[in-house]
Structure 1
């Protein structure tokens, strides 16, 4: 597995951290990992919501000295029911 892509959104306020993450994930293959660095505490709420919308998942959330480090993994396309 390759190293995760790091997105540095320190110093940016909501919704910029999530938007930067979404832009970085655009076109990524399922299973790709990204690490978002953010100082806005709202990222703790916004990123899990974004990942639920993108069929991805949160791998880890770490906070040290006001710096959030959110590790996420992209998912595949949601299953589309066939009739």
Structure 2
């Protein structure tokens, strides 16, 4: 589900804007990397904050 919500959020952003994503789904780690690569977006950060995974994506 994090990927679907991320794609919707990215659709509302302009090129160059940064989206911060929080997820508790461990599968989101490879999913966010794949989404960034496939969409030409920049994965600026991928890490953890407590129980959550944190990602920063810059829209292409």
TM-score, L = length of structure 2:
0.90
Q: List gaps (5 residues or longer) in structure 1.
A: 1-15, 76-83
Q: 2:42 aligns with which of 47, 53, 57?
A: 57
Compute the RMSD of aligned alpha carbons: 1.1
Matches of 1:64 and 1:27 in 2, distance apart?
25
Moved over 4 A (4+): none
Quick check: which one's helix share is greater? 2
Aligned to 1:39: 24
Q: How many residues align?
A: 60
* Match of residue 67, structure 1, among 38, 46, 52: 52
- TM-score normalised by length of structure 1: 0.67
Gaps of 5+ in 2: none
Higher relative contact order at CA 8 Å, sep ≥6: structure 1 or structure 2?
Answer: 2
Q: CA deviation at 1:27?
A: 4.3
